[in-house]
């Protein structure tokens, strides 16, 4: 695919432009968190940006540059396995904007920490990092790096996305233990948890899987969109209207918290008159989530 063909497939509708703005705002907040709290306190949150912090400390390599270079192979893997142009546009915007903001903000924030208290840096760093990531999710974007690798591991090896995040982030935090010391590595684990909670609170409110029930007259189109764009399974349940007594079909689909916004947008675009219920689920077992196995 040529560059011109790629740009022709990018959606520049008013809603998409709003989502691009959300991604830019979210990337800026993440970069601000990195410069104000994480880097001065030598705290690593995992992922490619965490690896960038380590290389910056050891070799003085620009963090933003490392983020871009580290995401290049993952970006092409994501292009191949996670949706082509639809995946690429928002992911590219998120990665590039975060990288640029990270390397430019040092000229505004400097290198002096706001506070020397490691606990405050952990909490405020985790909260602001999570808020930024949650805003990126609202823009239907990803943070690249861990997000891409997690989804690929989930799709090709049956590893749940949450477990994939834990594996990739823990490896970076483990390396941080050797570089910054084990006390800061332990605080890094707390930071990862806090940022995850904050991201889910911003994007959906709680850190739970969501069960969705959809009644629509455009059943086949909704199913196709969910399967191709979210890569989630759909169950068709026969139902009967209590008032109309009409036989209908209800669609049942379980998604992650970060995917609910995308699902609501997909359903609305296809059938604005659809009826949809979103509920919290404390645990989901099976393909695409936590493996189903005996205790």
Which sign, positive or negative, has the C-alpha torsion 47, 50, 52, 55?
negative
In a shared domain, residues 181 and 142:
yes
pLDDT at position 162: 58
Q: Per the domain annotation, does 96 fall within a domain?
A: yes
In a shared domain, residues 177 and 102:
yes
- Residues linked to residue 235 through DSSP beta bridges, in sequence order: 252
CATH number at residue 269: 3.30.70.120
pLDDT, tens digit, for every residue of 81-124?
A: 666 666 677 788 888 999 999 999 888 877 777 888 999 999 99
Number of domains in the chain: 2
pLDDT, tens digit, for every residue of 180-201?
A: 888 999 998 899 888 878 887 7
Q: How far apart are CA 160 and CA 151, in angstroms?
A: 8
pLDDT at position 292: 64
Q: Compute the C-alpha angle 63/137/93, nearest 5°.
A: 50
CB 66 within 8 A of CB 55: yes
- Residues linked to residue 213 through DSSP beta bridges, in sequence order: 252, 277
Q: Which of 172, 203, 234 is the last residue of a domain?
A: 203
pLDDT band at 239 (very low <50, low <70, confident <90, very high): confident
Identify which has the larger pLDDT, 138 or 161.
138
Q: Look up the domain containing 231 and give its range.
A: 209-281
What percent of the chain is modeled with pLDDT above 90?
A: 28
- Residues linked to residue 239 through DSSP beta bridges, in sequence order: 248
- DSSP secondary structure string for all residues of 258-275: GGHHHHHHHHHHH-TT-E
pLDDT, tens digit, for every residue of 20-69?
A: 899 999 999 999 999 999 999 999 887 888 888 999 888 888 998 999 89
In a shared domain, residues 19 and 54:
yes
pLDDT at position 207: 46
In a shared domain, residues 175 and 220:
no
Residue 131 scores a pLDDT above 80: yes
Q: Per the domain annotation, does 91 fall within a domain?
A: yes
């Amino acid at each position: 695919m040529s560059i011109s063909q790629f740009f022709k497939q990018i959606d520049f509708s008013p809603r998409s432009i709003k989502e691009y703005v959300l991604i830019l705002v979210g990337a800026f907040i993440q970069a601000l968190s990195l410069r104000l709290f994480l880097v001065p306190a030598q705290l690593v949150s995992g992922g490619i940006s965490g690896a960038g912090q380590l290389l910056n400390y050891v070799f003085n390599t620009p963090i933003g540059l490392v983020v871009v270079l580290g995401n290049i192979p993952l970006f092409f893997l994501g292009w191949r396995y996670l949706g082509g142009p639809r995946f690429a546009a928002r992911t590219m915007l998120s990665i590039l904007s975060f990288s640029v903001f990270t390397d430019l903000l040092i000229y505004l924030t400097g290198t002096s920490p706001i506070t020397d208290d490691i606990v405050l840096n952990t909490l405020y760093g985790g909260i602001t990092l999570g808020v930024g990531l949650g805003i990126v999710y609202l823009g239907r974007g990803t943070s690249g790096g861990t997000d891409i690798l997690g989804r690929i591991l989930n799709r090709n090896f049956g590893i749940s996305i949450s477990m994939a995040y834990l594996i990739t982030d823990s490896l970076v935090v483990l390396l941080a233990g050797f570089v910054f010391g084990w006390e800061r590595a332990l605080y890094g684990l707390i930071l990862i948890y806090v940022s995850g909670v904050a991201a889910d609170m911003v994007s959906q409110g709680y850190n739970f899987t969501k069960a969705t029930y959809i009644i629509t007259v455009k059943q086949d189109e909704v199913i196709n969109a969910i399967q191709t764009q979210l890569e989630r399974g759909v169950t068709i349940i026969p139902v009967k209207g209590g008032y109309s007594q009409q036989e209908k079909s209800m669609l049942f689909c379980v998604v992650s918290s970060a995917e609910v916004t995308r699902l609501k947008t997909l359903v609305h675009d296809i059938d604005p008159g659809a009826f949809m219920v979103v509920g919290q689920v404390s645990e989901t077992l099976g393909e695409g989530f936590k493996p189903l196995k005996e205790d």
